[in-house]
Structure 1
Amino acid sequence: MRPTILFLTLIAPSKATLSPSTDSIIKHSWGDIPRGWTYHSTPPPDDTFELRIGLKQARIDELIDRLLEISDPNHSSYGKHLSQEESEALASCQPKALDETKEWLAYHGIDDSRVNHHQAGGDWLSLQVSIAEAERILSTQYHLFRHDASGETSLRTLQYSLPHHLHSHIDMVAPTTYFSTLRTMRKTSFLQPDIEPVDEVESLIDPIISSAASVIPLGCSYAITPSCLRALYNTTDYVPTAMSQNRLGVAGYLDQYANDADLQTFLKKFRKDAAGATYPTVQIHGGGNDQSIPGIEANLDIQYTIGMSYPTPNIYYSTGGSPPFIQDSTTTTNTNEPYLDWVTYILNQTTIPQVITTSYGDDEQTVPLEYAVRVCNSFAQIGARGTTLLFSSGDFGVGGGDCKTNDGTNQVLFQPSFPASCPWVTTVGGTTKVNPEVGVNFSGGGFSRYFDQPDYQANAVSGYLGGLGTKYAGKFNPGGRAYPDVSAQANRFQVVVGGHTMSVGGTSASSPTVAGIFALLNDYRLSLGLGPLGFVNPLLYSLGRNGSEFSGFNDIVSGSNPGCGTDGFAAARGWDPITGAGTPSFKRLQALVSK
């Protein structure tokens, strides 16, 4: 509900007489304490914390236009990626926004020397404040709220206000009304204890011939290893040569640590020629690297990016912290990851890996809209600098839990996943079986309610929607960004954790697999003197032929992703919201990206 402004004067005061305390209006508020939370206590007024203020990005539409131009293979600017300085200029705020926000802070006694200005990922101001100062600045009251399920407490407020003239300058302030805990986030992978892990690799060596005439190790119908994936997607014979120019990054969050010893055990078992390969761990915003606590998710990611891309250099990012969160029935504790801290670090670097994979996600509705849009815009900035960002599509089909909306109406709707729903990333769904591959039943897919459908995918998506007809009408937004874009195997992955092999499933496995393939495609382009692929979606969708199969991809035509009490979407010829364009065929894609 838009707040009514009953206390503004009819004539706006001049800048010289403006009183930021008297012209403030509510920026965001809750009618009551969000469900699942209870009041715990009121903190001492002299307690301190970091307050972050995100300023609106004045030229973000121009940045996105540039991203689409340099990513369109038919445009004269194709491949002309932006420098760090160029992208920062397009993501910046108006000088007036910065000046007037600082004036507002100064009015409340915050000296400019206390304010840190960060420009990566757009303009952010951060400052250490006391509870009393924050309450005065934001015309609010802070309290500690207890999360009933976890017992954890968070410092939040039920509403906050900004001066009227700053509403057009400030996107968001945090922490304020977005409730969160520090619980481990949702990872898009899961253990499969009913599947016996493979301790010996002989069964994964004897070949059979698949229907596509590819030599696939016999055991791949039972367990997936790098040998299976390299055979399925035709990378086995490719030898990288551009190692000095090419890098592959893995983003990890909230106490998920990739284990060095487990990687060596994995490589000796499943990719002997890569034994001894290492990777650096970059720790961001308090991210750890405790080698005594190997993470299933982190190990899965790094073992399969290296397993697919060796000898391409890999890098693991360990990011700490916890971002804003809105609870729903599936995500009952804070499982959002701190994208802003990670993306700010990445955009501060002079060079960025040409491919980065992330295997985490949440229901879109649990992420505040302003937060989601701001993060998505930052992903566009990374893509404009020449990086392919890959995200797993999620493991709940069209939605998990009761699929009720958390806006008070309790409608049962399909629940899209974020960041999978961001138009400026490449989202990876899941398949299973090998002869032929089929869409795996947990593969996340659907249509965003936050982001409009981008032009680059409109033709492909319209073909699917035409075949769907009125089925599920009202359950999803047919005009929303559709995902996934591509897919890969997501079942029975062999992962070494704590020295032991176990079976793991999830689109967490699909995303690093595709990341390794795109890293090899970049290697090939770099060896030819060409630049990296960068944001690949416009190129990818241009490979579709009149709503049918996509050049360079294996079309997946069977499988579905049930959820929300329905059978979900079904795979079909061409693009579909369970497997996207299909699974990659490296050799065919190699020919398509050589110019």
Structure 2
Amino acid sequence: MLWLQALLFGLVPFCASKPLLPRWDDFQVKHAWVEMPRGWELHGPAPADYRFNLRIGLKQARIEELIAALYEVSDPAHDRYGQHLSKDEVDVLVAPHSDSADLVESWLTAHDIDTNAYHRSGGGDWLTVEVSVSEAERMLGTQYNVYRHSGSDDYVVRALNYSLPSILHEHVAVVAPTTYFGTIKSMKKTSFLQPHIPTIESDTDIASLLINPGSLATVPSSCSTTITPSCLRALYNTTSYTPTATAVNKLGICGYLEEFANFADLQTFFERFRTDAVGSNFTVVLVNGGENSQSEPGVEANLDIQYADGMSFPTPNIYFSTGGSPPFIPDDNTPTNTNEPYLDFLNFILAQSDVPQTFTTSYGDDEQTVPLDYATSVCNMFAQLGARGVSIMFSSGDDGVGAGDCLSNDGTNTQRFQPNFPASCPFVTTVGATFRVPEEGISFSGGGFSNYFAQPSYQSTAVSAFLTKLGTTNAGLFNVSGRAYPDVSAQGEGFQVVIGGRVESVAGTSASSPTFAGVVALLNDFRLANGNAPLGFLNPLLYSTGAAGLNDITSGSNPGCDTNGFSAGTGWDPITGLGTPDFGKLQALIG
């Protein structure tokens, strides 16, 4: 036995110098759906040789430091307020640990992926590689199929689950496309036509009545039915302010759903509703194959650009048209770009050194249809923008506390309120809707509590006060410890929008978000014109000193899920948030 002990002892240094190679077939589930996402149906197996772009999100080694920095530079009570990070500084904080990068590269090499052929993001936290379906299935221990969305007739290549080798789980945050089924066409826009509401061809008469725009008493009663820029400028006290920092200040509008804002319609809108802006226009940036055909103008796109521009003129507006070819055309194996709406836009904009100081987006998904790993990665990308000094507005949704039967998709079919994403992300400012003059919360205004994201400290006091007053109402239907939204609100009904040369009445929180973003763009102009930094991430300001610059809305409710939903009241509520903006008061508070 002595010879055996000697042999084993002799092998120790050899074993120590030759660590075991990772096992790439030791799979552990990363995400799996209990049931097929609603609205989708199986079309058939994906062709093994179909090629697409696979995005691998590596875990960011210092993401907690980035989020801490975001809160510090966004808190008006902190010494670092306004000291936003540069792109390079953000890239350093989101970079993966070298061990993560090396291990993922070894994994790709083991699957014969050319390490020189893939694209790395600026921080190195995202890798994009082109693979075939058969390669992706081997790498992720899954099966890709073709699924059809019944509402849009859109086809996608997705999986109902995916796995990673066990050793990669602490190094990889998300892989896409896998189990997130959302596409450009299947995303929920948050606007709708209102043919029952009369339209007006001009508001010159209304504009002439606004003798004292700082007083709500001067807002004509017609603004309770039909909304124009003059109504909004009077309601939100912006009429007397003229932007001057137009060489540096910009407002970005995110466009999806293959809709394009129309130049000619904007001119007609200006001729009828903002005559001093006639002749000005917006610029277009195409992202991931986005289009700008100027044909068949979209309701959503025209609403967004006309009211963002109508509120912020002469601040330059940029329409980001995010598109891309359909992710899969049955029986067509031509390589095409992967269609991941949020990732397409965010990877693009984070790579830019110069970005608009304000953004508005009027689209979203039911939170439960977005895998948690995907939602978390996207939300952290919004945090990166916020840390760089960008204010990000999202519409809260048009389903109140939830649409349809509101059943959970975790296999239990439990009835619960259905929050929206990205509205539920704690690093964006979510905008609900009001109507009438004086303002009330409108029934469709999306609001509630996230089931994914914890309640951030900046809103804990305001939300606790609401929950105390709520008592046991709706108990068990929502997550009391979740991120609560909306944060603020603005008018959302009867907007006069020019579509194809004709005026239509449009409603939705899609109207509210660009309206509020327009006010924020004016505030950023004021800051920049006075040599200060832009506002950046708004919520820590809004829930503290900024609350005094908002009009508290105390009536209205947002029913859904066979309930009366929530009711508005004094202070924050999940219909109107903290309220609607008063530019003059906010201007004084941030000066």
TM-score by length of 1: 0.91
Bigger mean CA deviation after superposition, 384-393 or 212-221: 212-221
Aligned letter for 2:402? G
**Structure 1 CA distance, aligned partners of 2:543 and 2:17?**
52
Task: Give yes or no for contact 2:290–2:322 (8 Å, CA) kept in 1.
Answer: yes
Task: Give the C-alpha shift of residue 78 in structure 1.
Answer: 0.6
Task: Give the C-alpha shift of residue 110 in structure 1.
Answer: 1.4
The residue number in structure 1 matching 2:571 is 574
The residue number in structure 2 matching 1:227 is 230
Pairs within 5 Å for 1:322-337:
none
The residue number in structure 1 matching 2:371 is 368
**Structure 2 CA distance, aligned partners of 1:156 and 1:283?**
25
Task: Give the C-alpha shift of residue 555 in structure 1.
Answer: 1.2
**Structure 2 CA distance, aligned partners of 1:261 and 1:20?**
60
The residue number in structure 1 matching 2:401 is 398
The residue number in structure 2 matching 1:29 is 32
**Structure 1 CA distance, aligned partners of 2:409 and 2:325?**
20
Instruction: Give yes or no for the alignment of 1:471 onto 2:468.
Output: no
The residue number in structure 2 matching 1:170 is 172
The residue number in structure 1 matching 2:131 is 129
Report % sequence identity.
Answer: 59
**Structure 1 CA distance, aligned partners of 2:75 and 2:572?**
19
Name the CA shift for 1:361/1:132 in 2 (closer, same or farther; >3 Å): closer
Name the CA shift for 1:370/1:300 in 2 (closer, same or farther; >3 Å): same
**Structure 2 CA distance, aligned partners of 1:182 and 1:419?**
15
The residue number in structure 1 matching 2:294 is 291
**Structure 2 CA distance, aligned partners of 1:140 and 1:13?**
34
Pairs within 5 Å for 1:201-350:
201-205=203-207, 207=209, 212-321=215-324, 338-350=341-353
Task: Give yes or no for contact 1:225–1:270 (8 Å, CA) kept in 2.
Answer: yes
Q: Secondary structure at the match of 1:561?
A: coil
**Structure 2 CA distance, aligned partners of 1:430 and 1:17?**
58
Task: Give the C-alpha shift of residue 92 in structure 1.
Answer: 1.4
The residue number in structure 2 matching 1:7 is none
Aligned letter for 1:566? T
**Structure 2 CA distance, aligned partners of 1:457 and 1:31?**
33
The residue number in structure 1 matching 2:529 is 527
Task: Give the C-alpha shift of residue 321 in structure 1.
Answer: 4.4
Aligned residues: 565
Task: Give yes or no for contact 1:181–1:322 (8 Å, CA) kept in 2.
Answer: no
Task: Give the C-alpha shift of residue 109 in structure 1.
Answer: 1.3
Instruction: Give yes or no for the alignment of 1:90 onto 2:87.
Output: no
Between Structure 1 and Structure 2, which shows a larger proportion of helix residues?
Answer: 2
**Structure 2 CA distance, aligned partners of 1:390 and 1:269?**
27
Name the CA shift for 1:481/1:35 in 2 (closer, same or farther; >3 Å): closer
**Structure 1 CA distance, aligned partners of 2:183 and 2:414?**
25
TM-score by length of 2: 0.91
Task: Give yes or no for contact 2:250–2:318 (8 Å, CA) kept in 1.
Answer: yes
The residue number in structure 2 matching 1:584 is 581
**Structure 2 CA distance, aligned partners of 1:590 and 1:403?**
41
C-alpha deviations, 1:136-186, integer Å up to 9, x for none? 222333333344565543223343332211111111112223335563421
Instruction: Give yes or no for the alignment of 1:501 onto 2:498.
Output: no
Task: Give the C-alpha shift of residue 21 in structure 1.
Answer: 3.2
Q: Secondary structure at the match of 1:114?
A: coil
C-alpha deviations, 1:186-211, integer Å up to 9, x for none? 11111001112112335524537899
Name the CA shift for 1:62/1:225 in 2 (closer, same or farther; >3 Å): same
The residue number in structure 2 matching 1:331 is none
Structure 2, unmatched stretches of 5+, are 1-14, 328-338
Name the CA shift for 1:50/1:522 in 2 (closer, same or farther; >3 Å): same
C-alpha deviations, 1:102-161, integer Å up to 9, x for none? 1011112112112221235x6111111122222222233333334456554322334333
Corresponding residue to 1:418 among 406, 417, 421:
421
Instruction: Give yes or no for the alignment of 1:74 onto 2:71.
Output: no
Aligned letter for 1:572? G
Instruction: Give yes or no for the alignment of 1:143 onto 2:140.
Output: no
Aligned letter for 1:215? T
**Structure 1 CA distance, aligned partners of 2:35 and 2:450?**
27
Instruction: Give yes or no for the alignment of 1:111 onto 2:108.
Output: no
Task: Give yes or no for contact 1:205–1:218 (8 Å, CA) kept in 2.
Answer: no
The residue number in structure 2 matching 1:3 is none
Corresponding residue to 2:492 among 476, 490, 495:
490
C-alpha deviations, 1:259-281, integer Å up to 9, x for none? 00000000000000000111110
Aligned letter for 2:492? A
Q: Secondary structure at the match of 2:314?
A: coil
Task: Give yes or no for contact 1:38–1:146 (8 Å, CA) kept in 2.
Answer: yes
**Structure 2 CA distance, aligned partners of 1:402 and 1:322?**
33
C-alpha deviations, 1:522-545, integer Å up to 9, x for none? 11111211110111111111127x
Q: Secondary structure at the match of 2:103?
A: helix
Bigger mean CA deviation after superposition, 26-35 or 403-412: 26-35
Task: Give yes or no for contact 2:71–2:540 (8 Å, CA) kept in 1.
Answer: yes
**Structure 2 CA distance, aligned partners of 1:265 and 1:501?**
9
**Structure 2 CA distance, aligned partners of 1:198 and 1:31?**
50
Aligned letter for 2:50? D
C-alpha deviations, 1:537-575, integer Å up to 9, x for none? 11111127xxxxx31111111111111111111111111
**Structure 2 CA distance, aligned partners of 1:32 and 1:507?**
30
Q: Secondary structure at the match of 1:112?
A: coil
Name the CA shift for 1:584/1:127 in 2 (closer, same or farther; >3 Å): same
The residue number in structure 2 matching 1:515 is 517
The residue number in structure 2 matching 1:554 is 551
Name the CA shift for 1:31/1:472 in 2 (closer, same or farther; >3 Å): closer
Aligned letter for 2:433? G
Aligned letter for 1:555? D
Task: Give yes or no for contact 2:492–2:510 (8 Å, CA) kept in 1.
Answer: yes
Instruction: Give yes or no for the alignment of 1:17 onto 2:15.
Output: no
Task: Give yes or no for contact 1:396–1:443 (8 Å, CA) kept in 2.
Answer: yes
Aligned letter for 2:471? G
Name the CA shift for 1:262/1:76 in 2 (closer, same or farther; >3 Å): same
